[in-house]
Chains A and B, each alone.
Chain A
């Protein structure tokens, strides 16, 4: 018999009020209807005899879209719902009541995770049933549909655990009076669903789904993920990531739900995380160097003999540098003051500032550049040729794009403080989900990938090697795509600066 989870029961009650419940069902049916019509137009416009083709291809298109909707419901909205609920409970103080009850931490964490997402599970189930229409009208196979759904489910659970950790750990900024519920952790399922960088992608179910449906066209994954001396499937790799990081994040949440005090990560937890990262980095780098001759020049003679030794050395080096970094990282970053807003002349610490995204972006940019240099150094030492021009171009696009995204998120949040999560969420959703989603649909179903769409998202351009199919290997195509992205990014950047200026004015009016 399952144990009683009081918090889940209570939160479930709030979500099953008739009005709210029926509005949820209505919204979902509306979404499914939109998906239906998008598919109709998509299939209809692609072929001359559209009616005939529509019925022929509809099932396939529809199933793909429903898979996207499933991820949207549980992965993206579900993750945000968990973080929002926990943060709000912390702000209101009601979490203290739960702490004083004799309930164990597991009961409380699962109460929050399952309770905040109950209605989304209902929506998930309904969408899943609709997806079966696609499956049984000549679309994708039933087994593939089930596996995709399960991958989405497990990925969502991982992201929800992480957002619970984030909700329980992030500093609440009382000083500024700005209180936000959904934070960076809520955007991770969106980021990770299309960032094929540093293996973040594998936290999302997308690579597994792509691997499942389109093995051949994405050559990089056709034979699996190179890891140490093996090729492993994206399923296995995703599960490794979910279990390793999910477990440590879960233990952090357990600690934080017992007591508000304590750091986000204890030293012990940080060391475990750093060890995991070191292990994964080493495994992947050694795997790529040893097992992927298609994209990297084969290692020089003799390297195989010492590869184990080298991998150990790298692990130790990365691990110790991370440890050193974590212990020496200054609590106050004074050079950040340019990026942090001030209130009445008092400097707000970057980690306490509610509007510290710019600082975060700045640091992320530095880390990424650092990583980029290391990676290229690695490639140079291994005898891999690098397109330096392309690399610099990528950097030029990447950094402003990242700032642009920060501006737009921050801008939205500042402008729509009350209930602003929804509006900024809508824009974030459009930016990070709809566009990559369209790209994925095109990439999967149309012969030539619409690489220009990728210009909307900055990160695919940051990868030093090409994984997007043969057509991108033609230099002129890459050049054209980069140029389009560059122009587009700068146009939106201009508008975002205007938006940002407006947000800043509102901020000053409110808080100074």
Chain B
């Protein structure tokens, strides 16, 4: 059974005359990349701030790694890494000095600090800027610096508020890869954005927020309507042949449909190994395959299907 890392129940946050979050409920499991999607003012930042123990909430029950956020906020602060939606930095410090400040704040041993800093600078393509002043960096670079700072303590949970804003497309792609790697290491990530395409590539689950409420949340596969253990693939063939005769009786194939001249959608049972089995099966039958890709409903279509009215 999957381990629940973050469990939010009935969260409500009130500002003076505004309800920022209203009856927010969601769960995030270990190793997941949870995308918090919604337009500006939906309550994403407030939710993340509450999870980061930096925002008081009106009521609700929140548990992070089993710790109650109200009673054990100090324990929670030790295991989370938080990146806000803007870049608070000390402009007068050099890039390495900025990271050194947090390396020492998180209690890294002196001899390991420089090693860690170099590793992070390399990871986020900032090595060349090591001796530059933070104030001289572009917005995207500052953003990368803040993300690298978040990684210093190697937290079990990463809370990233719009991390890709200001980062160029190549940087975004790289960030996505880093996040995927991080999640593979068993770390849990919550990432918020109002730009849907930003999250589409790497989120495993999603929570859609609007006007302070979560209107839909869960694993992408689940909320996209596919039952657990089924995969939809799109297969492009070299020639226009009738695939039906070959796969109709193949045990792992549950459903199939020709959607274009050479292209088929096939629903198969199993995991990603089953896709390899299917390809091997068809090649053995002498069919030339040009392209195979796994299809899942992207966040954008889930977002629209959820009934959310406002999208950026």
Q: Is the CB of A261 within 8 A of B56?
A: yes
CA distance A103 to B89 in the complex (A): 18
Given A100-B82, A102-B78, are A14 and B101 neighbors across the interface (CB < 8 Å)?
Answer: no
Q: Closest A residue to B85 by CB, please name it.
A: A93
Q: Is the CB of B97 within 8 A of A13?
A: yes
Q: What are the 8 tightest A-B residue pairs by CB atom distance, in nearest-first order?
A: A94-B88, A14-B92, A101-B105, A6-B104, A10-B101, A93-B88, A92-B88, A6-B105
Q: Is the CB of A4 within 8 A of B104?
A: yes
B226 sits at the interface (CB 8 A): no
Separation in Å of the A44 CB from the closest CB of chain B? 44
Given A99-B54, A102-B78, are A94 and B101 neighbors across the interface (CB < 8 Å)?
Answer: no
CA distance A102 to B84 in the complex (A): 18
Query: In the complex, which residues 29-88 of chain B have their Cβ closer than 8 Å to any Cβ of chain A?
Result: 52-54, 56, 77-78, 80-82, 84, 86, 88
Q: Which residues of chain A are within 8 angstroms of B102 by Cβ–Cβ distance? A: 6, 97, 101
Which of under 10, 10 to 19, 20 to 34, or 35 or more describes the interface residues of B?
Answer: 20 to 34
Q: Is the CB of B93 within 8 A of A14?
A: yes
Q: Which residues of chain A are within 8 angstroms of B98 by Cβ–Cβ distance? A: 10
Q: Which residues of chain B are within 8 angstroms of A102 by Cβ–Cβ distance? A: 77-78, 105-107
* Sample of 12 A–B contacts (CB below 8 Å): A7-B101, A7-B105, A10-B101, A17-B92, A93-B86, A93-B88, A94-B88, A97-B82, A99-B77, A100-B77, A101-B106, A102-B106
Q: Which residues of chain B are within 8 angstroms of A415 by Cβ–Cβ distance? A: none
Question: Given B78, B97, B107, which contacts A10 in the complex, CB threshold below 8 Å?
Answer: B97
Separation in Å of the B98 CB from the closest CB of chain A? 8
Q: Is the CB of B80 within 8 A of A10?
A: no
Q: Which residues of chain B are within 8 angstroms of A9 by Cβ–Cβ distance? A: 101, 104
Query: In the complex, which residues 133-151 of chain B have their Cβ closer than 8 Å to any Cβ of chain A?
Result: 149
B90 sits at the interface (CB 8 A): yes
A141 sits at the interface (CB 8 A): no
Q: Which residues of chain B are within 8 angstroms of A92 by Cβ–Cβ distance? A: 88-89
CA distance A505 to B74 in the complex (A): 48
Separation in Å of the B143 CB from the closest CB of chain A? 14
Other than the given A7-B101, A14-B93, A99-B77, 13 more pairs (CB < 8 A) read A6-B101, A10-B98, A14-B92, A92-B89, A96-B52, A96-B54, A98-B105, A99-B54, A100-B77, A100-B80, A101-B105, A102-B78, A261-B56
Q: Closest A residue to B155 by CB, please name it.
A: A100
Query: In the complex, which residues 107-125 of chain A have their Cβ closer than 8 Å to any Cβ of chain B?
Result: none
**What is the 8 Å Cβ interface bit string for chain B, positions 102-123, against chain A (1 contact, 0 not)?**
1011110000000000000000
Q: Closest B residue to A101 by CB, please name it.
A: B105
CA distance A13 to B93 in the complex (A): 7
A260 sits at the interface (CB 8 A): yes
CA distance A70 to B106 in the complex (A): 36
Separation in Å of the B102 CB from the closest CB of chain A? 7
Q: What is B's interface to A at a CB cutoff of 8 Å?
A: 52-54, 56, 77-78, 80-82, 84, 86, 88-90, 92-93, 97-98, 100-102, 104-107, 149, 153
Query: In the complex, which residues 285-315 of chain A have their Cβ closer than 8 Å to any Cβ of chain B?
Result: none
CA distance A105 to B76 in the complex (A): 16
Separation in Å of the A245 CB from the closest CB of chain B? 28
Q: Is the CB of A96 within 8 A of B90?
A: no
Q: Is the CB of B105 within 8 A of A103?
A: yes
CA distance A220 to B234 in the complex (A): 96
Q: Which residues of chain B are within 8 angstroms of A261 by Cβ–Cβ distance? A: 56
CA distance A428 to B199 in the complex (A): 53
Q: Which residues of chain B are within 8 angstroms of A10 by Cβ–Cβ distance? A: 90, 93, 97-98, 100-101
CA distance A255 to B81 in the complex (A): 22
Q: Is the CB of A94 within 8 A of B89?
A: yes
Separation in Å of the A308 CB from the closest CB of chain B? 47
Query: In the complex, which residues 1-35 of chain A have their Cβ closer than 8 Å to any Cβ of chain B?
Result: 4, 6-7, 9-10, 13-14, 17
CA distance A14 to B53 in the complex (A): 29
CA distance A93 to B77 in the complex (A): 16
Separation in Å of the B14 CB from the closest CB of chain A? 13
Q: Which residues of chain A are within 8 angstroms of B153 by Cβ–Cβ distance? A: 101
CA distance A89 to B89 in the complex (A): 9
Interface centre among A13, A93, A96, A100 (most CB of B within 10 A): A100
Separation in Å of the A152 CB from the closest CB of chain B? 28
Q: Which residues of chain A are within 8 angstroms of B100 by Cβ–Cβ distance? A: 10
CA distance A96 to B102 in the complex (A): 12
Q: Which residues of chain A are within 8 angstroms of B105 by Cβ–Cβ distance? A: 6-7, 98, 101-103
Separation in Å of the B4 CB from the closest CB of chain A? 22
CA distance A9 to B97 in the complex (A): 10
CA distance A7 to B89 in the complex (A): 13
Given A100-B80, A102-B77, A260-B54, are A14 and B104 neighbors across the interface (CB < 8 Å)?
Answer: no
Q: Is the CB of B97 within 8 A of A100?
A: no
Q: Which residues of chain B are within 8 angstroms of A89 by Cβ–Cβ distance? A: 88
Separation in Å of the B107 CB from the closest CB of chain A? 6
Q: Is the CB of B107 within 8 A of A97?
A: no
Q: Which residues of chain A are within 8 angstroms of B56 by Cβ–Cβ distance? A: 259, 261
Separation in Å of the B154 CB from the closest CB of chain A? 13
Separation in Å of the B52 CB from the closest CB of chain A? 7
Separation in Å of the B72 CB from the closest CB of chain A? 14
Separation in Å of the A344 CB from the closest CB of chain B? 15
